[in-house]
A and B are shown apart, each in its own frame.
Chain A
Amino acid sequence: EAQVTQNPRYLITVTGKKLTVTCSQNMNHEYMSWYRQDPGLGLRQIYYSMNVEVTDKGDVPEGYKVSRKEKRNFPLILESPSPNQTSLYFCASSASGTVPYEQYFGPGTRLTVT
């Protein structure tokens, strides 16, 4: 089954404790992206990757890191989480090209930073 998986689905942590949210897709997609969703603000892009070893900042990259060492994986790293990073996070993937294709989203990770 074609899918995007994220782990963990729920996480409560404390300020400053480094964490990683994993994202994996089995569709051989070149493009992967991370979003956060907050009430009243919609989905905002954090980072995206057009292919292996190619990453770029989205609209709200501060406080986040990513890496793309393999095509299927695109982990999101919070080196020193803060309460304003409490949010619902989605990973997505799509086939790449000059025209954006349908994006497939993971189930989401609900993060609370206290």
Chain B
Amino acid sequence: RKEVEQDPGPFNVPEGATVAFNCTYSNSASQSFFWYRQDCRKEPKLLMSVYSSGNEDGRFTAQLNRASQYISLLIRDSKLSDSATYLCVVDSYNQGGKLIFGQGTELSVKP
């Protein structure tokens, strides 16, 4: 089993749609969770951290379910500019700052 697994997609959605991505992780001791965004083979950039209580940033909502070991990202009112690959990232517990990246989920928002 991969340490971090994501549905690779692609997800093709129309503008204005709501889309959800899920990610599962294998290490129950992991403490830190993130969503990164990567545009077309450019460098990944932090989209948002994921907190135990769930958190929201504008149209983006992240949730963490520790019992089931999954993380989700919900994007509401999709924009063309949301088209990118979304990377689920989990810390490798007890190995300093090491992060484990999922393969990424590709999103394409169409007019």
Binding site for B on A (CB under 8 A): 31, 33, 35, 37, 40-45, 48, 50, 58, 88, 90, 94, 96-97, 99-103, 105-108
- Decide: A42 and B103 in contact? CB cutoff 8 A: yes
Does B97 contact A107, Cβ atoms closer than 8 Å? Answer: no
Contact of B101 with A by CB under 8 A: yes
Complex contact A107–B87 (CB within 8 A): no
**Interchain CB contact under 8 A, A108 and B43:** yes
CB neighbours (8 Å) of B49 from chain A are 102
- Which of chain B's residues 22-47 have a Cβ closer than 8 Å to chain A? 31-32, 34, 41-46
Cα distance A33–B92 when bound, in Å? 14
A40 to B98, CA, bound (A): 21
Give A44 to B49 CA distance when docked, in angstroms.
20
Given contacts A48-B98, A50-B97, A94-B97, contact A40 B46 (CB under 8 A): no
Instruction: Among A50, A88, A102, A107, point to the contact of B96 (Cβ < 8 A).
Output: A50
Instruction: Give A50's nearest chain B residue, CB to CB.
Output: B96
**Most chain A beta-carbon neighbours within 10 Å: one of B43, B46, B91:** B43
Q: Are A48 and B44 in contact (CB under 8 A)?
A: no
Complex: A88 Cα to B42 Cα, angstroms: 10
